[in-house]
Structure 1
Amino acid sequence: MKFPLYFSRKIAFSKDNKNNLSRVIIFIGRLSVALGIIVSLITVSTGLGSKKAIKERLGDFSGHITIKSTKSNSSYNTSVLDQEGLNIKSIKALPDVAAVQQYAMVTGIMRNENSFAGIIFKGVDRDFDSLRFKNFLIAGKTPFFSGKGYNNGIVISEKIANDLHLKVNDSIVTIFSKADQKPIYRNFEVAGIYKTDIKMIDDQFVIGDINHVRKIQDMKPDEVGGLDIFFKNINNIDKDAPKVEKFIGYKNYAERATDKYPQINDWIGLFDTNIGIIISIMLLVVIINIIMVLLILIIERTNSIGLLKTLGATNGQIRATFINYTLIIMVPGLLYGNAIGLGLLLAQKFFGIIKLNPKDYYVSVVPVDLNPLLIISISVGILIISGLALVIPSYLISKISPVKAIKYN
C-alpha cells in the first residue's frame, strides 16, 4: 500500500479525531456532502421523472409521432391521408415501432339541457391500442371498434363529463357542421371517462368510431385522416422518426409528440436548465465546505506535517495524504446522503406523497425516475470534482517549514 493512502487511513480512523476539533470539522464536511447528495438526487430524479411522465402522456394519447397529409390546415378536421408512397407494412416492420393505429378527426359540439362543449371527435379503428389507453381511464371502459358499422360508444374526458354533468352510460347529442349543408346530429353513449391531466387534451378530445367521422367527412370506407405511431421507447423519437419518414410518401408529413404542443415542449425544456442550476449550486456548496475542512485539518495538524517532512516525506506525498484523508471523510456523507435521498424518492414513487396541480404541472403527483446510472454518476461525480478542487488548496502544505511546524502549538 502506498504511503499517502496508508497514512491518510491511519489518521482518518484515529481515535484522536473523537476528542478534538476534527470531530466538528468532519461532521460539517459529511453533513454538507450528505445534503448535496440528497438535493441532487431529488432534483435529477424528479426533474427527469417529470419530463418522462409528460412526454409519455402526450405520446400515449396521440402517438409518439403522427402521420398527416400535407393538405391538412390549422383546422382539427383531418384531410385524407395520401396513399402514394405510404407503406404501412414497412413502418410496422421497423424494430423500434411498437404499434400503428389509424384515425380521423372532426370538430363538433356536445349539447344537453345543462350545457354545451366544443369537442374534437377522434375516430379510431379496430387497431386502436385500448391497453395503452387504459392507463388514462378513470371510469367505464373503452368500446370495441370493429371497423364495421357504427359503434355509438364514446370515451370522454373527466373535464367534459363534469361540464356536461355526464356519467358512464349516459347519452349525449353531438352536432357536426358541414359547409353549405344542414348540421349533422349524432346520439352517443358514454362508455368510459378518461383523464390525462394535460389541459389541451382533456378540454377537447372525445374518442369514438372512425366510421362516424368517415360518414360526416364524406370519406371512403378505407380512407383515414392519419396514423398514430408508437415507439418502444419515447425517448428515441428523434432517432426513430427519420426511419419512419422514409415510408410515408412525399405528400404526407410526420409530426412528433414533442412538437405537437410547443408550449408544453418549451416548459419541459426548462427542467434541464433548472436541474443544471441546482446541481451547480449544490456542487459549489459541497466544494467550499470540503476545502474548508481540508484547510482546517492542515492547520490543526501542522505539527504532523512538520514531522513528516523531517522524516523525509515530500510535499507531494503529504498533499496526497491530506487529499485522501478529506475524501475518506466524504464517504460516510455519500452513503448517508444516498440512503436518505433514495428513501425519500422511493416513498414518493410508491405512495405519491407530494401532489401537484395538474393545471400547472400536467401531472397530479411528483413523478420519480430512478435511473441507477445517474444515481451512481452523481456520487462518483461529486467525489471526483471534490478531489480535483482540493488540489490547489493542498499546496498550502508546501509553505509549511518543518522547523517552525514542529514548534507550532
Structure 2
Amino acid sequence: MNLSYFISKRISREQKQGFSSTIHKIAIFSIGIGLGAAIVSFLIMKGFQETVKNKIYSFSGHLVVTRFTMNNSTDEQPMKYGIDVYKHPDKYPNVRHVQEFSHKAGLVKTDTEVLGVVMKGVGKSFDVKSFEENLLEGKFIQFQDSGYANQVVISKIISDKLNIKTGDNIIVHFFQNPPRFRKLKVTGIYETNLSEYFDSKVIIGDIRLIQRLNDWSDSLAGGLEIFTKDVDRIDDAGMAIGQAMDFDLNIERVSDRYQQVFEWLNLLSRQVNILLGIILTVVCVNMISIVLILVMERTQMIGMLKALGGGDKLIRSIFVYQGISLILKGLMLGNAIGLGLCYLQYQFKFIKLNPHDYYMSVVPISWHWEIVGLLNLTTFLVVTVVLLVPTMVITRVSPIKAIRFD
C-alpha cells in the first residue's frame, strides 16, 4: 500500500472528533455549497436559454426563405414557395419540416377599441404540434378543403386589451387600396410572453385569406419557415438549401432576425461563467486555509517523519491525499444539493417568475448531464492543483523545530 495514502487514512480516522473534525466539515461544506450553486446556476441558465429560443423557433422556425428585394416597402414580396426544399425536405441534411407563411398589416376593431395588428397567414403545412405549447385556450385554426377559414388565433395580450374571448367574432381592417375588411372568429388564444416581438401585435390566420386579399395565386407566399432537427447544425442546412435555391431568394437564420434576444442570452452564459470563476476562487481560498491549518496541527508529525528520513514529497502527498478525500466528499454533497434542488424545481415548480419580465412563469430547469460532469471535473482538478500551494510550506519545516513545536 502507498505509505502516504496509509498515513493519510490513519490521520483521517483519528480526526473524527475535535477541532480537525470541524475543519474537515467546513471544507466539505464549502465545496458542496460551491458546486451545488454552480450546478443550479448552469442548469437554470440552460433552461432559460432553451425556453426563450424554443418560443421563438416555434413561432418562426430556424431558417427563413424570402424573396430578395432592394425595395424598402413594408409589404412582402411574394415568392413561389413550391421550391425543392418545400417539396423534398428529406433530401436536405438536418431539415425536419418546411411551411409557408405570409404577413398582412391591419386593424382589429371592436365596439370600443381599435388595435393595430399583423396577421400571420399559415397553411395546412403549419407545424401545429410545435406551436401547441403556446396555446392557452381553445384550438388552432381548422383549415378547409376549399376557400379560406374565417378563423383566427390571437394572443392573450390582444385578448385582454380588446376584451375578446374564444368564440367571439372580430372585424379586421386590412391596409391596402382599396381597404378591405373581414369578419373572423377567434378559435384560440396563445401566449409566448415575447410581447415586443409576437404577443402584442401578431394574430394567426389562414394564408389563403391573405392570398385572396393580395390577389395572389395559391402558389405564392411571403416566404418559407424551415425547422431543423439539430439547432447546433443550422448552418449546414442553410448552406445546402442556399446552394439549391434561385438567386432571387434569400435565406437567413431566425437568430439573426432576433439578434438582440440571442445576444442577450449569450451574455447570460458569460455571467454564469464569471459566477463559476468566483465560486472556484472562494473554494480554493478556503481549501488553502484549511490545508494550512491541517499542516500546522501536524507540525510535530512532519518533524518526526523528516527525522526518520521521510522526504518532502512523501509528506506533501499525505496532505494532498487528505485534501482529495475532502474534495470527493464535497463533490458528493454538492451534487446532492444542486441536483436535489433542481429536481424539486423541475417537478413542483415552486419558484415563480413574472412572465412579462422573464418570458416564462416559472424558473426553468434543463438537464444537461455533460455540464454536471464537466463542473465536477473542473472543480476537482482546479482545487486539487491548488492543494499543492499550501503543502509547499512543508519544505521549509525544520525537523528539530517541528518536534519541539507546541
TM-score (norm 2): 0.95
Partner of 2:49: 51
Q: Give how far 1:86 is off.
A: 5.5
Question: Does residue 183 of structure 2 align to residue 183 of structure 1?
Answer: no
Task: For 1:137 and 1:73, locate their aligned partners in 2 and report how far apart those are by CA, in whole Å.
Answer: 35
Contact 1:109-1:118 within 8 A present in 2 as well: yes
Task: For 1:103 and 1:153, locate their aligned partners in 2 and report how far apart those are by CA, in whole Å.
Answer: 16
Instruction: Summarize the alignment of residues 68-107 of structure 1 with structure 2, pairs less than 5 Å apart.
Output: 68-71=66-69, 77-81=75-79, 87-107=85-105
Instruction: Summarize the alignment of residues 2-401 of structure 1 with structure 2, pairs less than 5 Å apart.
Output: 2-12=2-12, 14=13, 16-71=14-69, 77-81=75-79, 87-146=85-144, 148-178=146-176, 181-199=177-195, 200-401=197-398
Q: Give how far 1:73 is off.
A: 5.7
1:144 is matched by which residue type in structure 2? Answer: Q
Task: For 1:170 and 1:145, locate their aligned partners in 2 and report how far apart those are by CA, in whole Å.
Answer: 18
2:193 is matched by which residue type in structure 1? Answer: D
Contact 1:50-1:368 within 8 A present in 2 as well: yes
Q: Give how far 1:78 is off.
A: 2.1
Q: Deviations over 1:74-114 (max 9, x none)?
A: 66532112569754345443242111111111111111112
Q: Give how far 1:145 is off.
A: 2.3
Q: Give how far 1:402 is off.
A: 1.6
1:46 is matched by which residue type in structure 2? Answer: I
**Once the two structures are aligned, what percentage of the paired residues are identical?**
32
SS of aligned partner of 1:246: helix
294-303 or 71-80, larger mean C-alpha shift: 71-80
1:194 is matched by which residue type in structure 2? Answer: Y
Task: For 2:136 and 2:400, locate their aligned partners in 1 and report how far apart those are by CA, in whole Å.
Answer: 79
265-274 or 90-99, larger mean C-alpha shift: 90-99
1:10 is matched by which residue type in structure 2? Answer: R
1:254 is matched by which residue type in structure 2? Answer: I
Q: Give how far 1:266 is off.
A: 2.3
Contact 2:33-2:334 within 8 A present in 1 as well: yes
Task: For 1:20 and 1:219, locate their aligned partners in 2 and report how far apart those are by CA, in whole Å.
Answer: 85
Q: Give how far 1:58 is off.
A: 0.4
Q: Deviations over 1:102-136 (max 9, x none)?
A: 11111111111121211111111111111111111
2:191 is matched by which residue type in structure 1? Answer: K
71-80 or 323-332, larger mean C-alpha shift: 71-80
Task: For 1:251 and 1:395, locate their aligned partners in 2 and report how far apart those are by CA, in whole Å.
Answer: 69
Unaligned runs of 5+ in 2: none
Contact 2:94-2:229 within 8 A present in 1 as well: yes
SS of aligned partner of 1:138: strand
TM-score (norm 1): 0.94
SS of aligned partner of 1:268: helix
1:232 is matched by which residue type in structure 2? Answer: K
How many residues are paired up?
A: 405
Unaligned runs of 5+ in 1: none
SS of aligned partner of 2:219: coil
1:26 is matched by which residue type in structure 2? Answer: H
Task: For 1:353 and 1:239, locate their aligned partners in 2 and report how far apart those are by CA, in whole Å.
Answer: 40
Q: Deviations over 1:251-278 (max 9, x none)?
A: 2222222222222122212211211111
2:7 is matched by which residue type in structure 1? Answer: F
Q: Given the superposition, is the C-alpha separation of residues 24 and 7 from structure 1 closer, same or farther in structure 2, using an over 3 Å criterion? A: same
Task: For 2:236 and 2:397, locate their aligned partners in 1 and report how far apart those are by CA, in whole Å.
Answer: 58
Task: For 1:240 and 1:247, locate their aligned partners in 2 and report how far apart those are by CA, in whole Å.
Answer: 11
Task: For 1:53 and 1:304, locate their aligned partners in 2 and report how far apart those are by CA, in whole Å.
Answer: 57
Q: Give how far 1:336 is off.
A: 1.5
Contact 1:157-1:194 within 8 A present in 2 as well: yes
Q: Deviations over 1:322-341 (max 9, x none)?
A: 11111101222211121111
Contact 1:152-1:187 within 8 A present in 2 as well: yes
Contact 1:214-1:220 within 8 A present in 2 as well: yes
Contact 2:85-2:241 within 8 A present in 1 as well: no
Q: Give how far 1:342 is off.
A: 0.9
Contact 2:81-2:224 within 8 A present in 1 as well: no
Task: For 1:147 and 1:31, locate their aligned partners in 2 and report how far apart those are by CA, in whole Å.
Answer: 66
Task: For 1:196 and 1:58, locate their aligned partners in 2 and report how far apart those are by CA, in whole Å.
Answer: 8
C-alpha RMSD of matched pairs (Å): 1.9
Task: For 1:107 and 1:387, locate their aligned partners in 2 and report how far apart those are by CA, in whole Å.
Answer: 62
SS of aligned partner of 1:166: coil
